[in-house]
Structure 1
């Protein structure tokens, strides 16, 4: 059985192929190359793979994605309708997402931006104590990442709710499920944290119609995908005063172009898509285990239904 490793983010594919080959010797791994020569692969191990993956390797039956989000993979032309797509389920990313959300929430709620400005002015001015009840948090998406985020923030005694398509029971987190519950979820939320996967149903979900339903003086933390956010709608709501700020890690165009209005907006904190990265060792261990299960015909976890997209 042959596998092709194809990733636009790694200059040294052997750093992945060598340990995978050692862990799964029954599969012969090959690096994607620019020669156009096919290897006859049945398996693809990918992260942001080349657009001609399936035209060059039409025999691919299973794709193992080195990340949790599969939206880029689903957009590739020629994706076989019967292909098995397997995504990462954590690989060290969930705790990073929780750290990022806590950083952004605490920075906003505890006025740490104000303290930074006051330090530059050599002014000693303690800000008023906060009431956590005034900083209601709503987490969009209750998968592995969102659930970890919600649990971590609830442990800090913020009032936390989680919304997802089917709902999820998490101790200390109020559950909202389905479109019917979405308005009530938004109405009780001041800090909205997005961890949703990108699908046709979630694209542009962070728009004027959604964000204006948040509590006044609202704050947005986007760790999902840039295509979730309608950027001009966020700017308009910041200008109107309905929203006080945002921390954004993902954007419609990455890197964020020079001259983009977000760069110089003091109400927006920008990070370059670093909220969570799959850790190499954990990713290799998890992917190798899934590959072994596939080869043996065993049940796989992390399989993505093509009609759902996550």
Structure 2
């Protein structure tokens, strides 16, 4: 079995993967073109269209991340080749920590205290009980389900939403358009963990934001395409601190993913005082568990064993 690895840290992946698959020949995309054409499998993150088209007899692709939108939208993606993606692989706990921080940031009024500090203002806010702070989680896949469970374990009522019906212990699950409307109308913090598909692009737009209760907050460690950024700014209201803290329906947002990345320096998102921006760092891939999944997928491919593959039509 010949495996071509492509990522920002391809040499590290190559060396670690070769130890897990001693009978395989593992090389990176920096290998000569003749060698690249011999690859049976690709283990890649955001490869070029040219690289995807080079192997002459490609048997399978392993996406080195949970999000497959970049791969599925790549014009060089060969038809009919099965794709496997990482599922959780340790990312869920890291994303869960990010989400829990974001919820507490608003539930315990750290956003307000930070602005008060800038004004040299000493004023204590009444703490709202966790039981009175419902949280919505859009997307209940491997990562979303784990994050929802972590938030519920902290004592917050959690309402989850997915395209198809699901049942998760301790989570009030909704699905479909009516379920989404019901969820949006009752949550104080909304967490976005949906994949990037035609159905989910700009799912958080002016209409969705208007359904949130006054003063709700938004946390997006998922995909940048889920949010209409112009509508988000409108919902936040004026960016002048002199206008007070309650203008706009949305209280604030913690954003880790954007339509364009890196976020352009001239984006108005940077300067809005009720936005907190991080550089797509919520869920870095822990190498150890991810390597186990990649090695297992490649062994299954080679042995012809059943394996869960990406549904190209669904987008995940």
Q: Is TM (by shorter chain) over 0.5?
A: yes
TM-score normalised by length of structure 1: 0.93
- Unaligned runs of 5+ residues in structure 2 are 238-246
Q: Is the 8 A contact 1:61 1:82 kept in 2?
A: no
CA distance in 2, matches of 1:106, 1:42: 47
- 2 CA distance for matches of 1:238 and 1:134? 23
Equivalent position to 1:69, from 56, 67, 70 = 67
Matched, 1:113 2:111: yes
Aligned to 1:212, the other structure's residue is in SS state helix
Query: Which among 281, 287, 304 is matched to residue 297 of structure 1?
Result: 304
- In the alignment of these two chains, the number of paired residues is 306
Q: d(CA) in 1 for partners of 2:121 and 2:178? A: 48
The 5 Å alignment of 1:186-197 reads 186-197=184-195
**Corresponding position: 1:19 with 2:16:** yes
Aligned pairs for 1:124-139 (under 5 A) are 124-139=122-137
CA contact (8 A) 2:53 2:78 kept: no
Contact 1:2 1:41 in 2 (8 A): yes
1:226: Cα distance to partner? Answer: 0.9
What is residue 6 of structure 1 aligned with on the other side?
Answer: 6
Q: TM-score, normalised by structure 2?
A: 0.91
Q: Within 2, Cα distance between the matches of 1:208 and 1:34?
A: 48
Query: Can you give the 5+ residue segments of structure 1 that lack an aligned partner in the other structure?
Result: none
Assess if the C-alpha contact under 8 Å between 1:30 and 1:39 holds in 2: no
The 5 Å alignment of 1:214-225 reads 214-225=212-223
Q: Secondary structure at the match of 1:64?
A: strand
Matched, 1:281 2:288: yes
**Equivalent residues of 2:44, 2:62 under 8 A apart:** yes
Aligned residue number for residue 241 of structure 1: 248
Q: Does 1:87 align with 2:93?
A: no
Q: Pick from 9, 28, 32: which aligns with 1:31?
A: 28
Rounded Cα–Cα distance in structure 1 between residues aligned with 2:292 and 2:253? 35
Q: Helix, strand or coil for the counterpart of 2:211?
A: coil
Determine the structure 1 residue equivalent to 2:159.
Answer: 161
Which sits farther off after the overlay, 68-77 or 149-158?
149-158
In the alignment, is the contact (CA less than 8 A) between 1:61 and 1:80 conserved in 2? no
Instruction: After TM superposition, give the deviation of residue 19 of structure 1 in Å.
Output: 1.9
Whether contact under 8 Å (1:162, 1:173) holds in the other structure is: yes
Deviations 1:47-67 (A, max 9, x none): 111221232224222001111
State the Cα distance separating 1:70 from its structure 2 match. 0.6
Q: How has the CA–CA distance of structure 1 residues 216 and 258 changed in structure 2, closer, same or farther, with 3 Å as cutoff?
A: same
